[in-house]
Chains A and B, each alone.
Chain A
Amino acid sequence: MARFKAYILTSPEWKTFFSVVFPIAIGVISGAYVNEITTPDGVKWMRSWNLPTFYLLIAATALMVVFHRTLYLHDISIDKFRDDQFCLAYVRSKCLPEAAERYREMIRSGDGGQLKQAMAELKKALK
């Protein structure tokens, strides 16, 4: 199931297929449903409960929601992955782990004058 899901989510053909099929199916079912509830005396909404097309319409809409929600979650996970990778690339580019180690050592050895001065400047800037 997971493999099938991944296959559909990564295949442009399947994504297009479902994006086209769902609206068509819902359109056709809606037409049939409207046909069934329409009488010469007007629209009989209360008939809906006894019509299979009504339940088919709900089922097709629910399937469409599930499909688009899965697509959305998939896109979000890609964005999150890319964002994490981009963030790590920035961290690597700026040598932040090495800088952190250097400053930690500075604090441990009591040579934190630079940092104290930076704090004083920061306080001034944030006033």
Chain B
Amino acid sequence: MTVYPTPEFTKKVVALPEQFRREVKRFIDFISSSRKDELLKSQMHFQTERLAENLYQIRLRDMRIFFSFGGTNEEGLLLLDLNTHSATPSAQKTFFAVNDPRVNSAFNPKYNSSINPNYNSSINPRFNSSINPRFNSSINPQFNSSINPHFNSSINPQFNSSINPRFNSSINPRFNSSINPRYNASFGGPFVYSPDLDQQGFLVRANDSVSLKFDEAGEFAGTLIKANDQVMVEFDKDQKWMGYFVQANELVQLRFNAEGEWSGLVV
């Protein structure tokens, strides 16, 4: 099979400790010389589990590799992602990020003007009224009840248990170590950064319209509600409106407080 690793997968492998990298190499060597049916049937070398339509995982000790089939001749294998599990939490103050603005200037607004609202007016709510809740009522939770958890119970964790980490342990980093960067060193983000690029927390997507924000300790810190393709509105854990996130590009979101002041980013 032809193997196609995604850039995210490669970045995670590069950051892996040596023993995990050896396992990845063993797996890639095997799939490179095997056919699709051989991999799926071969429970002897690697146990493949189907997670969803054309989405599989294999477990290699304390690591999981997620992959999918596809390509020009449907005999390709896409290596999508991986995660690792550590029995003890990491004591590090900062976590590994796939797209790290502290290392990669493409994600740093100081060096990349296209994601800096001071230089790119299209992502600055002061100049672009369509992304400013003061001028665009459809993205203002005070005027649009569908994006306000006080009026729309489906986006309120207090009423919808499926998006409440207290009741749904699968979206709670304290129980699900794969979404906890302290236990899954390959979590990779998205992380919330301050304007000075200090990591302040991370996001977990609960469903198509709701993402949950957790602080560095894994404590639930608030929700992000999708208002449209470019804007998400931010609430704290008591459902108080805190601000909004503007999509700067495919991977970067800029964080603004309710007054419209730039207060960080998410990568």
Decide yes or no: A82 and B169 within 8 Å by CB, A96-B66, A121-B14, A126-B28 being known contacts.
yes
Interface residues on B, range: 35 or more
Residues of A within 8 A of B54 (CB): 97, 100
User: Shortest CB–CB separation between residue A82 and chain B, in angstroms?
Assistant: 7
Residues of B within 8 A of A82 (CB): 169-170
B13 x A85 contact (CB < 8 A): no
Query: At the interface, yes or no: B204 with Cβ under 8 Å from chain A?
Result: yes
User: Shortest CB–CB separation between residue B48 and chain A, in angstroms?
Assistant: 13
B64 x A94 contact (CB < 8 A): no
B7 x A114 contact (CB < 8 A): yes
A-B contact count (CB 8 A): 112
Interface pick from A18-26, A39-47, A103-111: A103-111
* Chain A contact residues, majority secondary structure: helix
User: Shortest CB–CB separation between residue B87 and chain A, in angstroms?
Assistant: 15
Residues of A within 8 A of B8 (CB): 99
B5, B24, B66: the one within 8 Å of A119 (CB): B5
A118 x B28 contact (CB < 8 A): no
B205 x A92 contact (CB < 8 A): yes
Q: Which residue of A lies closest to B189 (CB)?
A: A94
C-alpha gap A114/B6 in the complex (Å): 8
A96 x B81 contact (CB < 8 A): yes
B25 x A108 contact (CB < 8 A): no
B6 x A103 contact (CB < 8 A): yes
Interface pick from B68-76, B224-232, B235-243, B253-261: B68-76
Q: Which residue of A lies closest to B25 (CB)?
A: A126
B14 x A125 contact (CB < 8 A): yes
Q: Which residue of B lies closest to A94 (CB)?
A: B81
Which B residues fall within an 8 A CB radius of A? 3-10, 13-14, 21, 24-25, 28, 51-55, 57, 64, 66, 68, 70-72, 76, 78, 80-81, 83, 169-171, 175-179, 204-207
A-B complex: 8 closest residue pairs judged by Cβ atoms: A89-B170, A104-B70, A100-B68, A118-B10, A86-B176, A90-B178, A93-B205, A126-B25
